[in-house]
Amino acid sequence: MRLLAGGMAVSCALLIGMSRCWGADLWGGSLGVTSDYVVRGITRSNDQAALQLDLHYLNASGFTAGLFASNTQIDPYDPRDAELNAFVGFAWSTGSDWRGKALLSHYAYPWNVERHAYDYDELDVEWAFRDWLNLAAVYSPDEPRYLPARGLVGVTSTAAEVGVQRPVLRSLSATAGVGYSRFDGQSPQGYAYWSVGAAYDLAPVSLSLSYVNTSAGAKALFYNAAVRNGWVGTVIWRF
């Protein structure tokens, strides 16, 4: 049985894209294909490709809401299914340098063989500085964790991460990120995850390639779902 590693399906790219249109109601979204759906160093697609759709709304006061969907395969022995993430929140700016957002999300896996055992809620708060530095903190009161004596149960989890993106040549940027995720419950455990890579902006299309790795604690929590020395390529079309 594989477990989840909390969301952040709505990335900093959405935050930055929203903020550039500040002051007017905005409908938007994206359609993407990734070689592996990885969230905080953990694969949710069994090391396989995933098709992903994001639809969102932002008004002039900063209220935002939307839906994210992706195909998933949490357990390699189960059929492929889907993740649906409905979110609502608020986005803001502080001067010309800082932008932020706070999102409350519900993750559901309606066609998973475990039914609602994997469903959970999450609060995600992010800050972006001048479009190149991203800070994030995440809290979930009921994220699924497998405990040998109790099976799949919801536990409190937290995470924090830092990401950077700096221009290298015209539309080409270097990217890097590092984070730490912790799960409570019997014998609380945590793990570190990090990535380095590059992104190429061909607006409205963007391409990215990242090398992803995790510490030993990730395998203790998520078994073979923990990404070790993996490469992830993604193509996103924003509209």
Higher pLDDT, 75 or 181: 181
pLDDT in tens, 107-157: 999 998 887 899 999 999 999 999 899 999 999 999 999 888 788 899 999
Is it the case that residue 187 has pLDDT exceeding 90?
A: no
What phi and psi, each to the nearest 5 degrees, are found at residue 19?
Answer: -65, -30
Q: What is the pLDDT of residue 14?
A: 45
pLDDT in tens, 32-91: 999 999 999 999 999 999 999 999 999 999 999 999 999 999 988 889 999 999 999 999
Q: What is the pLDDT of residue 7?
A: 44
Show the domains of the chain with their CATH numbers: 12-238 (2.40.160.40)
Confidence of residue 228 (pLDDT cuts 50, 70, 90): very high
Confidence of residue 4 (pLDDT cuts 50, 70, 90): low
